[in-house]
Structure 1
Amino acid sequence: MFKKPRRWVNKVYLHCSASDNPKYDNAATIDSWHKANGWAGIGYHYYIRKDGTIEPGRDIKKTPAAQGGHNRGTIAICCGGLKDFTEAQFKSLRKLCQEIHTAYDGKVTFHGHCEVSSKLCPVFDYRKVLGLDGAGRLLDNHQPDYRNVVPDGDIEASFKTAPHASRGPVLRLGDSGFMVEGLQRKLAALGYHVGTVDGDFGARTRAAVLAFQADNDLITDGIAGEMTFEALGDAAAREVSAKRQVASMADLAKSGSRIADASVKQVAAGAATGIGGLVGLAGKVSGEFSSVKTSLDPIAEPFGGWGTLGLIALIGAAVVITWLGWKAGQARLDDHRTGKTS
């Protein structure tokens, strides 16, 4: 069932859905609830129904949106229920957690949402169900005991009165102001190209947000919300691959870059024009170049009727065209090598 993602993980958080209503006992309902909160979709990686069925939620490759301020480097699991949990659920939970424990060679720890929130979530005694030591690690040879794992009292009150952490700003294409400027400065400091830091959330800023989200295992929606700002808080500078650092103009052109392709063609056209002009001019100045001129006749032929001044002007124009083409391509190549563009 469990397949270890490539992203860094050191903790697993357990949650409950806070509902015993059978019609809500599925991942699809949680997905709709979370979308209603403005999220990209279900925040948990796994949802365990009362019959023990484990349903997939958010892609395990992506960071969860489950425990505000503590999502980085975690896996989130939700058990459906509030007061009524089943033995089938606990068995599935133990099996899944054991697989995670094994995949990470016992180096991950398991925690309840309540450890980072004032809610009682996940309500049941997860330490007893899983068999955890004081640090949250699974104990070997633990004998499961599912009796009396749900506390008495007004459990619902915990979920109704628990303060919700501030979600912070949500910035998107078209927004402007000092918060956008701060976002741009942070992205630029990490090596993402936002264009001019001007407080306007334009296409380049959105592209930088998308690139940052992709690099940090977030949902790539181009919107800077709670998850993106949480990741920005401790993100490392963007690494540029060795392949990008030594890429050539030809490499970029082959990969589909229109600027690089246009640059290569413009430089080639300018060089051909310049050579043709030089050969034509040489032919007029000295007969010693006749052998060279003969071999380059296909290039020089279009300029055979040009006068000396015209050929000189043509050569000058060819130099300018070649230089402008090279300059545009070089700027694109520099951006690619430094990671400013894809």
Structure 2
Amino acid sequence: MASFNPAILEASGAYLGTEEWPGARHNPVVLGFFAASGNGHVQDDETPWCAAFVGAVLAELALPNTGKLNARSYLDWGLPVPASEARPGDVVILWRGQLNGWQGHVGFLVGFDGDGVILRGGNQGNSVSDARYPVSRVLGYRRAVQQAGNGRQSLRHGARGQAVCELQQMLVDLRYPLGHVDGLFGDRTREAVLAFQADNELAVDGVVGRETWETMDSAEPRLERDVDAQDLRERGSRTIRDADRGQALTTTGIVGLGGLGVIIERTEEAAALFTQGSGLLDRAQAAVMAYWPILLVGGAGLLLWRYFDQIKAARVEDARSGRNVSR
């Protein structure tokens, strides 16, 4: 089984000495840790960032992370390792505050020192550093492992990197839409994975492990469903129903003005005014003053009608591709 521990130590060591900036300014490297770990909404370096640092280092190596800022979230990550088998590069989770509380600290194991453990972590003295903690505070040791076949790693929500790009491209090729191929295992990628797993009678857990990878390697592109708006209407699609209602209301408004023919007729009359008069400004003002209610309401109605048509077309495409068959 491949070991990522040496690479983890090397990658994390490159950030030793990275510090929070005092005052109102924020270190962009620390902000980068938040972004890389899936927490880009954090825009300051005062928010505790030990889990962000661990997540960013793992993401840099295209390894999955929890995507959370709670240090204890790593108790459910990777492979559990007994203390006797812990090695440099393993992830170590400590309790903080209370043993059974929610607070904690997380970092990478550098080594042991008597009854202490040396961790390389972020937010240790407001910087990335190697620091000693009592072994008695350790909640668990976890290890990044390669669980998938063909030299691929297991991927889950929050993972980043080239391996995620490969996964996304395979899903797109198999007709599971997910937006852009951006190397970020986000919500849309997870939805595509869940759909693929359901279609292929796999465990529907959103985790791309050996079985999912191998099934994707041999899978045929998903067939587009033969469906149109009328099919969806008969099945009770809420989207089609609401769009139909919107178009009906729009039609009622147009009929209230005398119908579409009247709007066209008045539009032609307005256009004729542009060929009369002494100047372009005068002609424009005359057209607007004469027919502005009809032009305004009628034009808005036509735009709304087209908008509802686009909604229905998008819904049909969703149903054909299988991206969403329920709404």
TM bracket (short chain): 0.3 to 0.5
Larger Rg: 1 or 2? Answer: 1
Question: What's the TM-score once normalised by structure 1's chain length?
Answer: 0.40
Greater strand fraction, Structure 1 or Structure 2 = 2
